[in-house]
Structure 1
Amino acid sequence: MKAAIRANLVQGVNLTPQLLQSIRLLQLNSLQLEQELRQTLERNPLLEQEEPGDDAKASGDADSATLEAAAWDELPEPSFLSGGGIAGGDGDDATLRIAGQASSDPRVRLLEQLALQWNQRDLEMAAWWLDHCDDRGYLEHSVAELLALGAQAFPQWVDDLEVVRQRLLHGDCPGVAAVDAGECLRAQLALHTDCGLRTLAMRILGEQLPLLAAHDDAALAAALDEDIEHVRAAVALILTLRAHPIEILPEPDTAVVPDVVAWHAGGAWRVALNQRTAPRVRIAAHCERALAGNAGSHGGNASSHAVLRGLLDEARWLVRGLAMRNDTLLRTAQVLIERQRAFLDRGEEAIVPLTLNEVAEAIGMHESTVSRIVNGKYIQTPRGTFELKRLFAVRLEGAEVAGSAVRAMVKRLIESEPAAAPLADDVIAGLLARQGVRVARRTVAKYRDQLSIGPARARQRLPGRAMAG
C-alpha cells in the first residue's frame, strides 16, 4: 500500500467564547437577561449599571456591534424555525451545545426530544412535517398536497415521508401532524388499553362524527346498533382525549413585560426598545484606567493582575454582546412593524405573508439570527401585547394572502351570518372568492375547526350560542 498525503479544505465556524456569549445573550428573554446581568454585576467588580441618559458609550458599542454581526450570521440556522431541513448532515452543530432556556414552542420541544432517539434523516423529515403544522399541531394542508411538496424537498426519501408522519402521529405526542380532529383522536385512542371501549370509540370517530358532535347518544346507539350505555361509555372515553394535538394553555399568573414598544405618531409607526427590559452596563472607568496604568507591573501582583485582566475581558465581551443583542432586536422589530403596518392599522385580516428569510435579508443577517432574536420576545402595540413571532405569517398555498388572514375572514363571515341560515363551508369559500381569495371548501373547514366553530348544521341547532374564536 502506497502512503499518500492529501489536503482537504473544510469550511467551519470557530465558536470563540465571545461568540458563544453573544449567541446566548441573543436568545435570552427579558427576565432571563435581567437575571443574567444581576449575577454578572455581583460577580464582576469592573462592571456597573449604566444610568439612564448616558448614551454615548452605548452608541459606540452599537456601532461596533453592527460591524461584528457577521460573526454569528454564518452559524447554521435552526431548521424548524427557518422552514428548511436540519443543516449540516451528520456533522455536529456546536451551537446545539449552547446552554439556554427551553423553547416556548411545544413543536420545537418535541423535535428536541426526538433528537435523542431518531436518526438524522428521519429528524429532518419530522421537522419538515412540523413546519407544516399550525399552532395546535394539525397539518395546514391535505396529506396529498404536502406529499407532493415533500417530494421536492426530499426527492430521495419521498417513500418514507408518510412513514415519518405516522411515527409522529402515534409517537410521544399522539395526534400531532394529524389531518383533522378525527385522525388526532383516533391516534390517541390507539394507546388506550380497554380494547372493547376503544373499538366502539374508533367506530364512532370513523363513522358517526356528526352525531358525536351533536351529542345525540340515542341516534349514535341506533346507527351503530349498540346498547346506549355502551355508547355513552365510549363517548365518555372520547371526551377524555385532547381536543387538539397540542394544547396551548394560558398562563394567567405570568406577567408579560414587552421587550419592544410600537406606537403610531406623526402619521408613521415608531418602534423603541423597552428600557426596562434593555438594561445597559458599562466598564467602570476608574478600574480600566487603573489596570492600564499597572500593565507593566510584575512580581507578587502578577497573579492578581491576571485575574483582573480576565475580568476586564469578560466585561468587555458582555458590553459588546449586549449592544449587539439590543441593536439586532430593534432592527428586527422595525422591519416587522414596517412590513405589517396593515395588520396594525386594520387587524388580523390585513396581515401579509412574511418569512424569516425576508426579514433576515432586510436587516442583512442570517435566518438563524432572526430566529433567535424573536424567540420569546414580546412587542407592545395598540392592538395588544404579543410575541414577535406572531408578525410572521405563512403564505396560503396558491394564494397571495396569509393563512391567518383567511382564518380571520372565515371568523368574520361566520360571526355575521344569519342565525337562522348559517353559512356552509362551500358558501364561505364562494364569498371569499368574490373578495379575490380563492380557497377550497376543505380549507374553510380546517380554519373553522381551528376556531372551534361547528359546521353549519350544528350552528343552526344552537343559533343563540356564542361561538368560540
Structure 2
Amino acid sequence: MKQSLQLKMGQHLTMPPQLQQAIRLLQLSTLDLQQEIQEALDSNPMLETSEEADELHEQSQPEQADNATQSAEPETTSSKEHTDSAYEEPSNSQNDSLDEYQETEDSFDDQWNDRIPEELATDSSWDDTFQASTNSGSTTHRDEDLPFESNDSAEETLQDHLLWQLNLTPMSPTDQMIAEAIIDGIDTEGYLRISLDELLEHFVQEESELFQDAELDELEAVLHRIQQFDPPGVAARDLGECLSIQLQQLPPDTPLLKQSVMLCRQYIHLLGSRDYKQLMRKLRLKEPQLQAIITLIQSLNPHPGSFISNSKAEYVIPDVYVEKIRGVWTVRLNSEASPNLQINTRYADLIRRADNSADNTYLKSHLQEARWFIKSLQSRNETLLKVSSQIIERQSDFLDFGPEAMKPMVLHDIAEAVEMHESTISRVTTQKYMHTPRGIFELKYFFSSHVSTSDGGAASSTAIRAVIKKLIAAENPTKPLSDNKIAQLLDEEGIQVARRTIAKYREAMGIAPSNERKRLI
C-alpha cells in the first residue's frame, strides 16, 4: 500500500483537567477528602489554611514591634551616654569592697573546680546530656497533649493475652510446648480450630525425642489447663463445650447448674432447633425450669475472644447537619469536615508577569493549580448542600414521624430538581452522611423503590421494612408471625406485598424466620 497523509474533521468531547478534578473530589468521602487536601497542602506552596494565615499574622505583629523598638535604640543609647557622663567615679571604699567580693568569688570557684575531676566517668559531654534531657522533657509534654487512645500503640491480641497467662503458670517444658501449640490454634473468636490428634501427630514427627511416649491424654490435660484461662470459655472446640466451661466457673449453688451443663454438652442441637418439648422430656424438666435454664445460657458469651479484639472502631464524620430552626428543617455543611483553604499571599506577591524564569514559572503553575483546587472544593460543597436540601425537602415527614413515613424517591427525582445528571447525584450521595435528630444516615438511605398500594398510591420500601420490623417487635413470642401472615397484615393496611418480598426484606434486616423466633413464654 502507498503511504499518504490525509486530513479529517471530526467532533469529540474532551474533559478539561479542572472538570476531572472536580468530579474526582465530588465522589470522595470525608476521610478521603481530608487526605487529598493534606496532600495538596504538602505539595503546593500556594495553598494554606485560614488557621495558618492567622498564626503567621500573629507572629508578624511582635516582629513589627521589635523593629520599631530597635529603631528607637540609638536615641536611647545617646541619652544613656549623656546620663553616664553625669555620674562621678566611685570612691576608694567602694572599689575595695568590689575587690573583696571578686576575691571571694574566685576562691569559691577554685574550691568547686577542685571537687570536679577533669574527666568525668561518662561517655557523653555536658552539652549532649543537657540537650537530651531537654528533648525528653519536650517529648513528654507532647505525649501529654495527645489523646488517650494514642497512648496504647501496641494492641494486645488474644494469643498475647493467653501467652502472658501461660508464662505465669508452672508447667514442664513438654507441657509448655504443647500449650503454645494449642494457643496458636485458637482463632479470634476463642475457639480451638485444630484437633488434638493432629497436634499429637505433629509432635511425634517433629519432636520425636521429647514426645516419644506422648499420649492424647497428656494433650487433653494441657487443654483443660488452658480452658481455665481468661476469658472464660476460651480454647473450646465447639459451642456446647464453650458454654459448659463458662457454666462450670459459676458458683456451685447456682440454680439448675447441673441441668444447664448437661444441656450444653448433650442437647445443644435441640436448643438450636427450639425443640422445647424434646428438651423437657430428655432433661425431665418443666416449662418454667427450662425457661430459667435458657435465660442462664443466654447470659453467657458464645464468642469469648470478642472480649480481647484488636479491631479498631471506625467513626463516621457527617458531611451535613440537619436542624429544625423556627419550625423549618434547615441543612448546613459540616465546617469541621474540611479546612478552609486560601491562596498564600506572600508567595503570590512574588510572581512577576513578564518574567519567564524557572522559579517564576513554578510559582505561576502552582498558583493556577491552587485556584482550581479551591474552586473544585467550593463546587463540591455547593453541590452537596443543594442535593441534601432537596432530600430533606422531600423527606421531611421522615424527620417528623420516623421511617414509616419515608416516601419513595429515586435518583432521577433529585436530578430533575437540581438540574444535574443522575451520575452526579450518585457520586454526591455515595459515602456521604447526614446528621439528623434521628441519627446519622448515608444519603443513599433516603432513596428507595416504591410499592403500589390499593388506593393507587405508592409506598417506600424503607417504610415497608419499618412496618415489618414494628410488627415483629410486637408479636407474641410463643406464636411468632409468619411471612404469609405479615403479608396479610400489610394487605389490610392497603400495601400489597408478596410473601417472598416480605422474606427478602426480613433477611435484609437480619431478622430470623418465625420458627427461630419462637419462645417458651
TM-score, normalised via structure 1 length: 0.52
What is aligned with 2:474? 416
Residue 357 of structure 1 contacts residue 367 of structure 1 at CA under 8 Å; is this kept in 2? yes
Residues 1:316 and 2:371 aligned together: yes
What is aligned with 2:519? 462
DSSP-derived class of the 2:407 partner: coil
Aligned-partner Cα distance in 2 for 1:212–1:436: 39
The alignment of Structure 1 onto Structure 2 pairs a total of residues equal to 270
Question: Structure 2 matches for 1:336-355, cutoff 5 A?
Answer: 336-355=391-410
What is aligned with 2:506? 448
Residues 1:380 and 2:439 aligned together: no
What is aligned with 2:425? 370
Aligned-partner Cα distance in 2 for 1:363–1:53: 35
- Cα deviation per residue 1:234-273 (whole Å; 9 max; x = unaligned)? xxxxxxxxxxxxxxxxx86011111111111211111111
What is aligned with 2:283? none
The match for 1:214 among 263, 273, 276 is: 273
Higher relative contact order (CA 8 A, sep 6+): 1
Give the stretch that moved more between structures: 347-356 or 304-313: 347-356
Amino acid at match of 2:430: N
- Cα deviation per residue 1:246-301 (whole Å; 9 max; x = unaligned)? xxxxx86011111111111211111111100132211123433442xx20235xxx
* Gap change, CA 1:17 and 1:422, over 3 Å in 2: same
Residues 1:42 and 2:42 aligned together: yes
Residue 349 of structure 1 contacts residue 404 of structure 1 at CA under 8 Å; is this kept in 2? yes
Aligned-partner Cα distance in 1 for 2:386–2:459: 25
Residue 278 of structure 1 contacts residue 326 of structure 1 at CA under 8 Å; is this kept in 2? no
Residue 452 of structure 2 contacts residue 495 of structure 2 at CA under 8 Å; is this kept in 1? no
What is aligned with 1:272? 332
| Displacement after TM superposition at 1:322 (Å) | 0.8
Aligned-partner Cα distance in 2 for 1:438–1:339: 24
Aligned-partner Cα distance in 1 for 2:53–2:424: 29
Amino acid at match of 1:311: H
Amino acid at match of 1:297: D
Residues 1:253 and 2:310 aligned together: no
Residue 280 of structure 1 contacts residue 322 of structure 1 at CA under 8 Å; is this kept in 2? no
What is aligned with 1:89? none
Aligned-partner Cα distance in 2 for 1:457–1:42: 59
- Structure 1 unmatched runs, 5+: 55-210, 220-250, 465-469
| Displacement after TM superposition at 1:458 (Å) | 4.2
| Displacement after TM superposition at 1:432 (Å) | 1.2
- Structure 2 unmatched runs, 5+: 55-269, 279-310
- For the aligned residue pairs, the C-alpha RMSD in angstroms reads 3.4
- Cα deviation per residue 1:25-71 (whole Å; 9 max; x = unaligned)? 112222222222222222222222135999xxxxxxxxxxxxxxxxx
Amino acid at match of 1:279: P
Aligned-partner Cα distance in 2 for 1:215–1:389: 38
DSSP-derived class of the 1:401 partner: strand
| Displacement after TM superposition at 1:4 (Å) | 13
Residue 259 of structure 1 contacts residue 278 of structure 1 at CA under 8 Å; is this kept in 2? no
Residue 30 of structure 1 contacts residue 277 of structure 1 at CA under 8 Å; is this kept in 2? yes
Aligned-partner Cα distance in 2 for 1:15–1:321: 14
Question: Structure 2 matches for 1:71-110, cutoff 5 A?
Answer: none
| Displacement after TM superposition at 1:215 (Å) | 6.3
DSSP-derived class of the 2:337 partner: coil
* Gap change, CA 1:52 and 1:378, over 3 Å in 2: farther
Residue 452 of structure 2 contacts residue 496 of structure 2 at CA under 8 Å; is this kept in 1? no
DSSP-derived class of the 1:453 partner: coil
What is aligned with 1:427? 485
What is aligned with 2:228? none
* Gap change, CA 1:43 and 1:420, over 3 Å in 2: closer
DSSP-derived class of the 1:305 partner: helix
